[in-house]
């Protein structure tokens, strides 16, 4: 059953409560559609229908695999329908609003969201996340940090007494909080933060200060206008000694009037590349006094006389970072899936240029260059989805252990999540732009949805750990593991390949001198070469450090002078992990049709990676020249092989039109009529004659 | 002499008329500065001063080389001062305005610009371009197409009678025109355009129509709200026959009231990724009648009875495309220069993280990874600047020949400009984002200037010929030349290397089997390997076509099935040309200090290109594995070598602070104070409490 106004595919049960769809009143159900289509326009574009008919696998079943299970697909769609059919979440197209109006609309919807989540009793974090991502279609929103950082930090770091004082008011939005960590001059490197909290035993208060311009808190979401409290990370000083970073609950605005409190200079940091719905803010603290009891003291403590008590373990905050970075891997997959959906659907209905003279203009998707732009990215979207699933499952498994005090697997997961966060976000960041530019001129129109996907996604390369720093963290783990292996220690887990004796003697050497037994059509064989490449590049980086040390550089300079090689080693390690996890996933797929198409994607992902990094594989003697030439030929064959399934493969991501929010990526393929309708709603078209004509252009004539 | 309010370096003569600077009233001169600095804040950041003191060459002399001559530098600065000190061009920061306000401000400034250009008698196209780029700092503006396409098209294609009717009114802005070529469904492939102009001999009129939705004219700048006329490209039909595309002058709005004329549906196409100052528009023509005399008839003609007379030559419009694409190469260089200026200056004053524990936080620029992100791009900025100069000079030289009817060099320049347009814009597009992301979180703030540079630049990858199509056009020329060479014909010009007999037998083969005589420290030797790589990849592409033909594919399918290889061949050809032109340029540099630093840059550009494409060089047997390893080592050495000159090298681009419009890239390095001041002016800070608190957040409490 397909909804006639928005092409949403529905099943019977979705038409029931709590979805509250009344299908007998179809025109009312799509509150977001401002244009009512005539019956002919509502028909599917025949090109896209033909594409769907050509698919060789069951799209619905693949969607279940991507969601995790048929039940998860059902529940996700249920939640999506709840939000997308709810008139309270109807919105103006943000593209047509000013920044202040966008913020205003976002606050309205966030307030509604809080009410509805409680009304419907949605409490599972994954379901809340899904609901939120429909209310604010993959856009960050002003309460993100209240819900995602302020409340969880209370739960994790507040004492029972503090929970009593702060949690319920925060739960009921009397306290709206944010998490103020980064400063104008300090981001990823936490030890550099300058904000101070000095304990005054006379009054039993902490005195908070921003001692320099660069110490002004900068970037926290919701800080500018929304929050009345902030958890402030500051350097603790008591009894004349510094004790490093600790967290303090600081009231910043009057809870009734919302006016900033004395000593608080707070505001919005100004327009950004994206994030227009969020009031990322600044906070300057000028001798702000808070009671001793406002330091989060579940672990570290300051006693009334100023005595400092250390926390029992430093690893406690470790887990959150790992969790968030793992989540970002999944966000990469989603952003890439959406971008591929738009670019591939549009390429299937867009006719342009010519292949054979005299023939009608072909679908863009028939051009080999277009396939070569998009299909490797489609393969990457699938790869990253499965990596995201793996990271999530691993985190869930390990966090059980952590709760029982077993931290043994955490360092590996920490290293993996850091590197994969960087690897997937960098790749996705470039890929979104390739998708956008593959749409010709219309990719530049905001109606395509692609500019927004890009600007909302690109900060993932920097926040939650700057990507180069992340790659170097992973490299640190790899080099450490390599040295352990060389010292004869037996490694376990994903770095165990560094143990394998043959890699310890692998040396870059002339291609002709090495035997090559790689089967480029066999994924297991390709996983093996990716692994060997990683092992060799880790070794090269470790040797670079060694050589620098021999030149009497200190350890730190040796590290810095090898950092290009270290990043490259991390990159190769992550690439190996992705190829491996994609290959592993295929083992779980029972359906023949799906197994076949996913195998083609996995092979394309692996071979395209070799094609684009062929120097590494040749240099290490892992492949010879005829094999590399053959890889190029196979890549072309795989493109042709995927061509009939391309649209079905993006359909399987099952991104609802309203979440996709793209005229080019519409499920029905009716691009041009809708592009015209969208443009006519542009605010510049509110009047036929813009006032600037009368103000400037007409008077100009008289002066010339 | 340095201006105390804006750090503009001035010489005596610049303080004179017509610059109209009154240095005795220094505070008045900088109209754009909204913050008055106290004397201490006005001081240079000591980090950046130290960087400048460390430079080993004369920055001013390098600026002269980049401008073309000391005289050109002087005149450019004179024009910049004229505009930047003119209160009539004072503007609100566009980041703080709505789209309609941005358009309004742009129209105001464009109208002023027309007046002033005539007042000052600035008529040289290069000087007009320079003036315009200061009035609208590297932003497109609403009159761009009137000045850059409408007037020139009249000059080139109007009959004397048409010049009488249209030129002076257009010169005096009574007629404001645009150039309406692209349609909703058609861009680069001109033959696909659908708009029709059918001649009616009964009334001696053309009847213009947009027969389909996809034929609606879409994207022309200034079409939405600004223009009252358009030169419309349409398929001409007369006496029952089609004669292809021709240009027609179509009135679209009433010249007095500016209201759209009957049969005209015109408007703005809505918000875009950038280009917020421009009203890119749509135009739907519904039986619009224009007199026969409105067809531009300098070459092709339709006689009163409907008889069609062909134009004498089809090559006449060829030149303009070549010119615009050559210009875009220069724009790549400028966008990249600005991005590098911002990222490198900020990296020199930004301290972060640690190299050695206990030491103060180092300048970001001391991290090898940061150098590796930025210095190859700096080298690229210089490379593209010199390529831009070459293209400009070559165009000037050839256009003299063209005017005398000699088109012999045009095909080569056409092929070269197409490929280099694609090569330089793609590379720059990615590079701007690398620069932005190298600035940490603040790169995402609009105050950095980098988001704007990106969104204003990225359309160059698509407009004036979509990049992949451009690469394939160049490839067509290369394959044709290759076949001619193989058939024994002697080639001349830049493709003459396809003649060289040894390349005709080069075959990909095992590295060990080939002698390697390349000196990786010698640019001439590197030019040679780039040339050989290009020759081999052209041959590979040509052979791919041959193989496809042998499989009984038709010529067109064979071409399409080889297009990945063809793009790769074009890319290698362009890469060779860039390395060659950079190397050639060094021969013109007499100053030792400058020659030395530019040689380092050229070597870095060439070696980094090898490092990033090492597979090609290994595969072709042009370099062996030890050489490739050595290239990586040399790249690191070159980074260290460039480190002391990095800031001076971006200073030499001499981009005025007001044109750079970046808090991070300020000449004085005083980033953080100014970031804070900028943020405080954010519109969201106009009130302490945003109305959304009272509308949504406070009422929410009562409901929870």
Contact B245, B283 (CB under 8 A): no
Asked whether the beta carbons of residue B618 and residue A615 sit closer than 8 angstroms, the reply is: yes
Q: Among B570, B537, B623, which Cα is nearest to A632's?
A: B537
Return the H-helix or E-strand segment holding B197. strand B196-200
With CA atoms as reference, report the closest residue to B577 among B497, B500, B494, B466: B494
Q: A280-318 pLDDT, tens per residue?
A: 999 999 999 999 999 999 999 999 999 999 987 666 566
Query: What is the residue whose two structure tokens read 């996809």?
Result: B214
Measure Cα distances from A692 to A403, B222, B223, B667 in Å.
65, 13, 14, 35
Residues from chain B contacting residue A186 (CB–CB below 8 Å) = 352
Helix H, strand E, coil C: the string for A399-449 is: HHHHHCCCCCCHHHHHHHHHHHHHHHHHHHHHHHHHHHHCCHHHHHEHHHC
Per-residue model confidence as pLDDT tens digits over A242-268: 999 999 999 999 999 999 999 999 999
Residue the block writes with tokens 């001649």: B199
Mutate to test the interface with A, among B101, B685, B694 (most CBs of A within 10 A): B685
- Grade residue B508 by pLDDT with cuts at 50, 70 and 90: low
Interval A328-353: pLDDT, tens: 999 999 999 999 999 999 999 999 88
What is the predicted pLDDT for the residue at A36? Answer: 34
- Nearest 5°: the CA angle B17, B22, B28 is 130
Identify the closest residue of chain A to B681 by CA–CA distance: A270
State the CB neighbour count (10 A cutoff) for residue B468.
24
Cα–Cα dist B684/B679, whole Å: 10
Closest by CA to B76, choosing from B85, B87, B64, is B64
pLDDT digits (tens, 9 = 90+) for A355-384: 788 888 899 999 999 999 999 999 999 999
What is residue B445's predicted lDDT score, i.e. its pLDDT? 98
Two structure tokens written together for B633: 């080592």
Size of interface A-B (CB pairs under 8 A): 417
**Whole-number pLDDT of residue A399:** 82
Q: A694: which 2 tokens? A: 């009368």
Query: Which one of B214, B468, B672 has the shortest CB-CB distance to A214?
Result: B672
B406: which DSSP letter? -
Partner residue opposite B267 with nearest CB, options A99, A446, A680: A680
B270 and A681 in contact by Cβ < 8 A?
yes
Q: For B355, name the nearest residue in chain A, comparing CA atoms only.
A: A556
How close does chain B come to A204, measured CA to CA in Å?
Answer: 31
Cα radius of gyration (chain A): 28
Give the ranges where A213-361 is alpha helix by DSSP (H).
318-349
Residue A186: both structure tokens together: 């300090």
For chain B, percent of residues with pLDDT exceeding 70? 91
Average pLDDT, chain B: 91
Residue partners of B160: CB distance under 8 A and separation at least 6: none
Residues of chain A in contact with residue B560, where contact means CB-CB under 8 angstroms, are: 355, 366-368
DSSP string computed for B245-274: EEEEEEE-B-TTT-PBPTTEEEEE---BSS
Please tell me the predicted confidence (pLDDT) of residue B22: 31
Query: What would the two tokens of residue B560 be?
Result: 């399409």
**Exposure class string for A410-444: b at 16+ Cβ within 10 A, else e:** bbbbbbbbbbbbbbbbbbbbebbbebbbbbbbbbb
For residue A677, give the H/E element and its range. Answer: helix A671-680
- Average pLDDT in the A550-563 region? 94
What is the average per-residue pLDDT within A393-412? 85
Are A92 and A274 in contact by the 8 Å Cβ rule? The answer is: no
Residue B329 has pLDDT above 90, yes or no: yes
Q: What are phi and psi of B298, to 5 degrees?
A: -60, -35
The alpha-carbon gap from B704 to the nearest alpha carbon of chain A, in Å, equals 6
What secondary structure letter does DSSP report for B159?
-
Rounded Cα distance, A53 and A567, in Å: 45
**Sign, CA torsion B30/B35/B38/B42:** negative
Give the residue among B471, B327, B478 at the shortest CA–CA distance from B391: B327
Give the mutation candidate from B216, B225, B434 for the A interface (greatest A CB count, under 10 A).
Answer: B225
Nearest CA in chain A to B101: A692
Structure tokens at B371: 């150098």
CB neighbour list of residue A16: distance below 8 Å, 6 or more residues apart: none
Peptide bond into B18 cis (omega under 30): yes
Interatomic CA distance for residues A102 and A106, integer angstroms: 6
Q: How confident is the model at residue B501 (pLDDT cuts 50, 70, 90)?
A: low
Are residues A493 and B493 in contact, defined by beta-carbon separation less than 8 angstroms? no
Average pLDDT score, chain A = 91
- Catalytic member of B464, B528, B539, B548: B464
CB contact under 8 A, A629 and B619: yes
Whole-angstrom distance between the N-terminal and C-terminal Cα of chain A?
A: 65
Q: How far apart are CA B438 and CA B450, in angstroms?
A: 11
Helix, strand, coil shares of chain A, percent, nearest 5, are 60, 10, 30
Q: What is the mean pLDDT of residues A566-579?
A: 98
**Three-state DSSP class for residue B604:** helix
Q: Which of A103, A107, A444 sits opposite B459 (nearest CB)?
A: A444
pLDDT of residue A298: 93
CA dihedral of residues A269, A273, A277, A281 (deg, nearest 10)? -20
Residue A401 has pLDDT above 90, yes or no: no
pTM exceeding 0.95: no
- Which residues of A participate in catalysis according to the annotation? 464
Q: Do B355 and A560 touch (CB under 8 A)?
A: yes
- CA-wise closest residue to B634 among B597, B612, B608: B608
Report CB contact under 8 Å: B356, A557: yes
Q: Determine which helix (DSSP H) or strand (DSSP E) holds A241, and give its type and residue range.
A: strand A241-251
pLDDT in tens, A176-192: 999 999 999 988 788 89
Return the DSSP state at B199: E
Name which of A547-551, A673-677, B13-17, B473-477 the model is least confident about. Answer: B13-17
For residue A260, the SS3 value is strand
Q: What does the pLDDT read at residue B6?
A: 43
Best probe of the A interface among B690, B694, B702, B703, by most A CBs < 10 A, is B690
Looking at residue A502, its pLDDT comes to: 57
In this prediction, residue B516 carries a pLDDT of 56
Structure tokens at A520: 């480029």
Which residue shows structure tokens 């998490």?
A179
Picking from B131, B109, B111, B129, the residue whose alpha carbon sits closest to that of residue B120 is B131
How far apart are alpha carbons A188 and A700 in whole angstroms?
A: 53
Question: Which residues pair with residue B241 across a beta bridge?
Answer: B238
With a cut of 70, say whether residue A153 has pLDDT above it: yes
Which residues in B lie closer than 8 A to residue A174 (C-beta atoms)? 701
Both tokens assigned to B145: 């197409």
In this predicted model, what pLDDT tens digit does every residue of B7-20 receive, in sequence order?
A: 444 444 443 332 33
The answer to whether the bond into A18 is cis (omega within 30° of 0) is: yes
Task: Give the sign of the dihedral formed by CA B409, CA B414, CA B417, CA B423.
Answer: negative
Pairing relationship of beta strands A301-302 and B288-291 according to DSSP bridges = unpaired
Contacts of A110 in chain B (CB under 8 A): 696
Instruction: Supply the DSSP string of B224-243, one letter for each residue.
Output: TTT-SEEEEEEEEEETTEEE
Which of the four pLDDT bands, split at 50, 70 and 90, describes residue B462?
very high
Put simply, the answer to whether B624 touches A510 (Cβ < 8 Å) is yes
Helix H or strand E encompassing B606: helix B592-612
Cα(B231)–Cα(B12) distance, integer angstroms: 47
Helices B563-586 and B368-403: angle between axes, nearest 10 degrees: 90
pLDDT of A196-219, one tens digit each?
Answer: 999 999 999 999 999 999 999 999
Given a cut of 70, is residue A400 above it in pLDDT?
yes
> Worst-scoring range by mean pLDDT, A538-552, B68-82, B137-151, B406-420?
B406-420
Residues from chain B contacting residue A432 (CB–CB below 8 Å): none
Integer-rounded Cα radius of gyration of chain B: 28
- Nearest CA of chain A to the CA of B332: how many Å? 17
Residues of B in contact with A697 (CB under 8 A): 107, 111, 173, 176, 226, 258
Helix (H) or strand (E) holding A238: strand A229-238
**Under 8 Å CB-to-CB from B494, ≥6 apart: which residues?**
B412, B416, B577
CA pair distance A181, A280, nearest whole angstrom: 12
pLDDT digits (tens, 9 = 90+) for A54-106: 999 999 999 999 999 999 999 999 999 999 999 999 999 999 999 999 999 99
Q: Which residues of B touch A187 (CB under 8 A)?
A: 352, 440-441
Q: How far is A466 from chain B, CA to nearest CA, in Å?
A: 7
Q: Tell me the pLDDT band of A553, cut-offs 50, 70 and 90.
A: confident
**Which of A106, A259, A444 would you mutate first to test chain B, the one with the most B CBs within 10 A?**
A444
């Amino acid at each position: 059953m397909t909804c006639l106004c928005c092409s949403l595919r529905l099943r019977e049960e979705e038409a029931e409560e709590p979805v509250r769809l009344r299908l007998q009143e179809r025109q009312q159900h799509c509150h977001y559609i401002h244009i009512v289509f005539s019956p002919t326009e509502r028909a599917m574009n025949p090109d896209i229908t033909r594409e769907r008919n050509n698919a060789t696998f069951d799209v619905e079943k693949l969607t279940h695999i991507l969601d995790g299970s048929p039940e998860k697909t059902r529940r996700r769609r249920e939640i999506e329908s709840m939000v997308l059919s709810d008139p309270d979440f109807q919105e103006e197209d943000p593209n047509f609003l000013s920044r202040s109006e966008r913020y205003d609309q976002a606050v309205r919807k966030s307030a509604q969201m809080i009410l509805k989540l409680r009304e419907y009793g949605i409490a599972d974090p994954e379901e809340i996340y899904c609901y939120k991502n429909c209310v604010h279609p993959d856009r960050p929103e002003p309460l993100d940090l209240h819900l995602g950082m302020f409340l969880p930090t209370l739960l994790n770091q507040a004492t029972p007494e503090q929970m009593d004082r702060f949690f319920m008011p925060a739960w009921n939005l009397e306290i709206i909080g944010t998490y103020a960590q980064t400063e104008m001059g300090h981001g990823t490197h936490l030890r550099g933060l300058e904000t101070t909290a000095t304990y005054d035993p006379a009054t039993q208060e902490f005195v908070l200060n921003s001692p320099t311009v660069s110490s002004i808190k900068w970037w926290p979401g919701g800080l500018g206008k929304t929050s009345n409290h902030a958890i402030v990370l500051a350097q603790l000083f008591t009894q004349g000694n510094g004790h490093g970073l600790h967290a303090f609950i600081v009231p910043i605005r009057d809870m009734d009037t919302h006016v900033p409190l004395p000593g608080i200079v707070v505001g919005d940091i100004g327009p950004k590349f994206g994030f227009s719905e969020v009031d990322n803010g600044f906070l300057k603290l000028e001798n702000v006094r808070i009671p001793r009891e406002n330091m989060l003291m579940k672990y570290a403590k300051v006693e009334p006389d100023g005595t400092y008590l250390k926390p029992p373990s430093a690893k406690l905050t470790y887990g959150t970072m790992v969790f968030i970075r793992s989540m970002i891997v999944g966000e990469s997959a989603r952003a890439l899936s959406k971008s591929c959906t738009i670019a591939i659907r549009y390429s299937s209905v867009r006719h342009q240029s010519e292949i054979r003279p005299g023939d009608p203009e072909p679908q863009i998707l028939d051009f080999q260059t277009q396939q070569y732009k998009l299909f490797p990215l489609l393969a990457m979207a699938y790869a990253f989805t499965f990596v995201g699933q793996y990271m999530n499952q691993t985190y869930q498994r390990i966090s059980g252990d952590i709760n029982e005090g077993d931290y043994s697997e955490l360092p590996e997961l920490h290293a993996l999540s850091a590197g994969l966060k960087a690897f997937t976000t960098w790749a996705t960041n470039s890929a979104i732009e390739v998708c956008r530019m593959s749409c010709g001129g219309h990719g530049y129109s905001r109606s395509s949805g692609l500019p927004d996907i890009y600007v909302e996604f690109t900060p993932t390369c920097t926040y939650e750990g700057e990507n180069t720093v992340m790659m170097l963290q992973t490299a640190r783990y790899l080099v450490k593991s390599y040295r352990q292996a060389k010292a004869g220690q037996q490694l376990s887990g994903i770095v165990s390949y560094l143990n394998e004796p043959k890699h310890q003697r692998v040396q870059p050497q002339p291609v002709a001198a090495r035997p090559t037994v790689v089967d480029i059509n066999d994924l297991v064989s390709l996983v093996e070469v990716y692994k060997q490449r990683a092992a060799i590049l880790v070794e090269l980086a470790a040797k670079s450090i060694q050589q620098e040390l021999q030149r009497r550089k200190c350890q730190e300079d040796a590290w810095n002078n090898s950092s290009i090689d270290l990043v490259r080693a991390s990159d190769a390690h992550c690439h190996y992990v992705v190829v491996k996890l994609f290959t592993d996933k295929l083992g779980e797929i029972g359906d023949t049709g799906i197994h076949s198409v996913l195998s083609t994607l996995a092979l394309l992902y692996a071979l395209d990676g070799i094609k684009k990094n062929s120097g590494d594989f040749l240099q290490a003697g892992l492949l010879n020249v005829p094999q590399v030439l053959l890889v190029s030929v196979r890549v072309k064959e795989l493109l042709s092989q995927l061509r009939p399934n391309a649209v079905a493969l993006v359909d399987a991501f099952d991104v609802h039109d309203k979440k996709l929010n793209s005229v080019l990526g519409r499920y029905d393929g009716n691009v041009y009529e809708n592009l015209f309708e969208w443009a006519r709603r542009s605010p510049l078209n509110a009047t036929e004659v813009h006032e600037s004509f009368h103000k400037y252009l007409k008077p100009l004539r008289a002066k010339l």
